Amino acid sequence: MEHVQQTFKLSVPSDTVNLAVIRDFVEMAARRSPIGDGEMERLKIAVDEACANVIEHAYNSDATRELTVHVWFDKSKIEVDVIDSGNRFDPNTHKALELKDLVGHKGGMGIRLMRMGTDELEVDVDEDGHNRLRLIKRLSA
């Protein structure tokens, strides 16, 4: 039996009050895949951090902007795209602070948490010219 790719999309105002909606959406969509509970929690945290970074840094907490999340999966992986039209940032060029250096430091864990919850982060521009951060989680067979 062939496994069909499934795709889900959510667009919300860029406001931290919508982070819970985004987490629930990611879980609802990804639960249709063979992802395990621990992997699911780490993926949700990674997506939450990515979206929080867009809200705070790309949009400077401007709740009038829009944030879009696409979730798609097949039997081998889940991909979550976080799409925005704010300031560009590539987390792959960011050197994570050492844990000892985070003590007393505001922020600094977001990219580390994104990397811990995924297998790969890709940054590019979508067909409409928007920033796209793709969080990829390979699924165990």
pLDDT at 104 over 70: no
pTM of the predicted model as reported, rounded to 2 decimal places = 0.87
Q: What pLDDT score was predicted for residue 64?
A: 97
Mean pLDDT to the nearest integer, 76-95: 86
- 26 domain residue, yes or no: yes
> Is 80 exceeded by the pLDDT of residue 99?
no
Question: Residue 1 domain-assigned?
Answer: no
- DSSP state letters, the chain: -PPPPEEEEEEEES-GGGHHHHHHHHHHHHTTTT--HHHHHHHHHHHHHHHHHIIIIISTT-TTSEEEEEEEE-SSEEEEEEEESS----GGGPPPPPHHHHTT-SS--HHHHHHHH-SEEEEEE-TTS-EEEEEEEEPP-
What CATH number should be reported for the domain holding residue 68?
3.30.565.10
- On whether residue 54 sits in a domain, the answer given is yes
Residue 61's domain comprises: 6-138
The structural domain count of the chain equals 1
pLDDT at 124: 93
Where does the pLDDT of residue 112 fall: very low under 50, low under 70, confident under 90, or very high at 90 and above? confident
